[in-house]
Structure 1
Amino acid sequence: MTMSTPTAVEDNDRTATHPEIARLKQELARANKRLTTTEAALDIMGKAHALLDSLSERADFGDKPNKR
Structure 2
Amino acid sequence: MIANKETRASFQSRLIYSIAISGGFTLFFESLDYFFVDEPFQIWVAITSFILFAIALLIMSYYFMTKKVKR
TM-score higher than 0.5: no
Larger relative helix fraction: 1
Q: TM-score, normalised by structure 2?
A: 0.38
- Structure ranking higher on relative contact order (CA contacts 8 Å, 6+ apart): 2
Find the structure with the greater CA-based Rg: 1
